[in-house]
Amino acid sequence: MSPPITCITGFVLALVATQFPLPPASAQPVVVRLSTGETLSATLVSLDDDGVVLDHPVLGRLTVRHRDVDSLVVRETVRIDSDRATSASDGAANAGTDLATTAPDVHPAPPTAATETATVTPASPDAVDEKLPVAPDWVSRIELGLSGASGNTSNFNLRTAFNTSRDTREFLTKLDASYTLGVTNDEKSTDRAEVQGRNDWKLPGSPWRVFLTGTFEYDRFQDWNYRASAIAGPGYELIRSDTVLLLLRAGAGFSREFAGADNRFNPELNVGGDYEYTITDYQRLVARADIFPSLLNFPSDYRIALNGAYEVRLNTAVPLLLKLGVENRYESEPTGGKRRNDLLYFLNIVHSF
């Protein structure tokens, strides 16, 4: 394995090994504000890796994922001493007797029975001082797909991928890594790896954000062996609902190829977008498109990256998905006599954790 790939593998493994401890919690009344704006008044059972565990008087016991929680506050409980409450009641009764003596036509209201304990719940979570921190969790997935044949022609195909992301009110952080291997008649026909990291800085109360993306690619069957690129710019959430997300992006940056015919820094523009559609609780469509026009030979020199997938959650004891995906990479002016278009389609089993 080449040194760049070894460094990338170590980086991915180090990220997977990182732990994110959550604070302990005890059963107590809380108000949970969800990211959708709704609030839940319930009893906090625990904070664990799966989310916030609550006991709700109507919904029963439920677990809310950390990324769906906007804030969590403890409800205040105010206790009134029973002796003081009794004294106050006696005083009210005596005052009523005096009033009846001086003014016989006035009938004072009977004193209200005192209670030992009174619970006061704030009208809004903003009135509560004590807050419990909620740690955003990382959502990670591992993918694996295999196919093969033997006989007059033998072939073997492998695709594996790792994805992890963390979504908070301030940031969206993603890391994606994939590797594809194809062997035909004992000779490699596909040998490609890609690692991409992206961070979005969200602007509070606005659909705008700023993103930074870095990508490293390895492809044995291109005129270049390695390519690194970086892009930064603004993003805008055009549509965001419970079922649909459409995020548009535009930016500028550079790419550089290594061990190829042209190893210069190539300044580039970027126009792209992300699309997610949740069909049901068990089905989802995802897609991404990016166009990279080169500023060295604009507009004839450009490259396009497209990918999409249909995911189905399997009804199993462990969280498994079936993923049918396609990737297409196009270069308008490839070097070394290579083809302009590379198309890859796959069927993977995905484990999420």
How confident is the prediction for the chain on average, in pLDDT? 79
Residue with the bigger pLDDT between 59 and 254: it is: 254
What is the Cα–Cα distance from 302 to 294, expressed in whole angstroms? 5
111 DSSP 8-state letter: P
Q: What average pLDDT score do residues 13-38 get?
A: 59
| pLDDT higher than 80, residue 115 | no
| pLDDT higher than 80, residue 268 | yes
pLDDT for 150 equals: 73
Strand order in the sheet with 69-74: 60-64, 51-56, 39-48, 28-34, 69-74
Least confident of 99-108, 285-294, 329-338: 99-108
Q: Kindly state the helix (H) or strand (E) to which residue 98 belongs, with its residue range.
A: helix 82-102
Residues 142-169 as b or e (16 or more Cβ within 10 Å = b): bbebeeeeeeeeeebbbbbbbbbebbee
Query: Which residue type does 100 have?
Result: A
Least confident of 121-125, 163-167, 188-192: 121-125
Dihedral pair phi/psi, residue 39, rounded to 5°: -125, 150
Tell me the pLDDT band of 7, cut-offs 50, 70 and 90: very low
Encoded tokens for 234: 């603004």
Q: Is the pTM of this model over 0.75?
A: no
Domains of the chain by range and CATH?
3-16+138-352 (2.40.160.40), 21-77+119-127 (2.30.30.100)
